[in-house]
Amino acid sequence: MSTNILQHYVQKMKRLRVDKAHGAAPHKPLLLLAVIELIEQGQIHENKITLSPELAETFLKYWSKVVTNRRPDITLPFFHLKSEGFWHFHANAGYEKALSVASRIRSVSQFRKVVMYVSLDTDLFVLLTNPHDREVIRQTLIRFYLPDFKQDVENLLTEGEQIKEHRQELLRQVENAFSAENPIEPVQAETPIRKAAFRQAIMVMYNYTCAVCRLRVLTMDGESVTEAAHIIPFSISGNDDVRNGISLCQLHHWAFDRGLISLGKTYKVIVSEFMSEQGPREWLLSELRDKSIFLPEHDQLYPAQDALAWHREEVLRR
């Protein structure tokens, strides 16, 4: 990429029209930083940006460090960046006209209805996929709009990078045989980075879906009904191998940890008799008996048989 093109976009970034009416609320730079981070993490891998929970979560992460006196609203910059000339909306079929005349889209559901995705100028997207050019643009945004928060933003970036590295390391472990007792790389303490990396890996493997009931609920600030459960508890095994993990909704995580449900060799649900339950039939644990669970795409990532056997032996209530 020529230096001229990079310089062209550096100048554009310096001249973003930002809202100053209500004090510093740098919506646009923060959204661009979030987009840059997702490109860097590989979560945005083609020139199609959607108003996804992952983007909202990343935007909010920056927002909470920088702005304390206003409520965040990602729909504002997501819409108004179009006036900068490099942020292009692509309408869903039938909404082309509505989108071209809209002066503002105020809700996430409205965006979903009207906008299929946003693309950047191709040149800009290519710049952002290049580590050097991406860093130049990121530093320009920080220097111009967030000079007082340089260190905070740097810390967030370092943390994000550490989580990513640890997540990749966890996923590489599946090339080795699973060991229930002696994790290949024992993890000494439950650190926030370790916890976040394990959670991210499991959520991506199961697409934020409960393996048992297939419920998937994600809020626009990145919260999910599902949790990354350890099959052999971390406190016992110290084992963060992703094959010692499974994505479960809060109800089924609770039931799994208490041994009211477990999993058989063929990944079917085992339900304990050690309880009584009442309520709508579709919510009863006993309705899950012998149902096949939802599994990751690759069988390398399936829950380890040794871990499941341990759970049946040690946790399942008979």
CB of 156: closest distance to Zn ion in angstroms? Answer: 32
Residue 45 burial (C-beta neighbours within 10 Å; 0-12, 13-18, 19+): exposed
CB atoms closer than 10 angstroms to residue 227: 17
Contact indicator for 199, 230 with CB cutoff of 8 Å? no
CB of 144: closest distance to Zn ion in angstroms? Answer: 46
Candidate segments 73-81, 123-131, 183-191, 215-223, binder of Zn ion by CB under 5 A: 215-223
Residue closer to Zn ion, measured from CB, 141 or 308 = 308
CB of 251: closest distance to Zn ion in angstroms? Answer: 6
Query: According to the binding rule CB under 5 A, does residue 246 interact with Zn ion?
Result: no
CB of 296: closest distance to Zn ion in angstroms? Answer: 16
| Interface with Zn ion (CB under 5 A), residue from 38, 202, 210, 301 | 210
Binding-site size, Zn ion (CB under 5 A): 6
Residue closer to Zn ion, measured from CB, 136 or 270 = 270
Query: According to the binding rule CB under 5 A, does residue 213 interact with Zn ion?
Result: yes
* Collapsed DSSP state (helix, strand, coil) of residue 263: strand
Residue closer to Zn ion, measured from CB, 150 or 289 = 289
Residue 139 burial (C-beta neighbours within 10 Å; 0-12, 13-18, 19+): middle
Q: How far is CA 34 from CA 157, 180, 289, in A?
A: 10, 38, 43
Query: According to the binding rule CB under 5 A, does residue 285 interact with Zn ion?
Result: no
In 70-198, beta strands by DSSP E: 87-91, 115-120
Query: According to the binding rule CB under 5 A, does residue 212 interact with Zn ion?
Result: yes
Residue closer to Zn ion, measured from CB, 187 or 215 = 215
Of 96, 98, 60, the closest CA to residue 78 belongs to 60
CB of 211: closest distance to Zn ion in angstroms? Answer: 8
CB of 120: closest distance to Zn ion in angstroms? Answer: 38
| Interface with Zn ion (CB under 5 A), residue from 13, 201, 249, 316 | 249
Candidate segments 48-56, 81-89, 152-160, 244-252, binder of Zn ion by CB under 5 A: 244-252
CB of 210: closest distance to Zn ion in angstroms? Answer: 3
> Which residues in 153-164 are b (16+ Cβ under 10 Å) and which e?
beebbeebebbb
Distance CA 55, CA 50 (A): 8
Contact indicator for 115, 99 with CB cutoff of 8 Å? yes
Query: According to the binding rule CB under 5 A, does residue 255 interact with Zn ion?
Result: no
CB of 256: closest distance to Zn ion in angstroms? Answer: 9
CB atoms closer than 10 angstroms to residue 270: 17
Distance CA 241, CA 100 (A): 49
Residue closer to Zn ion, measured from CB, 146 or 249 = 249
Which tokens hold the place of 256? 């799994």
Query: According to the binding rule CB under 5 A, does residue 38 interact with Zn ion?
Result: no
Residue closer to Zn ion, measured from CB, 91 or 215 = 215
Contact indicator for 310, 232 with CB cutoff of 8 Å? yes
Candidate segments 12-20, 129-137, 208-216, 290-298, binder of Zn ion by CB under 5 A: 208-216
Residues that bind Zn ion (CB under 5 A): 210, 212-213, 215, 249, 252
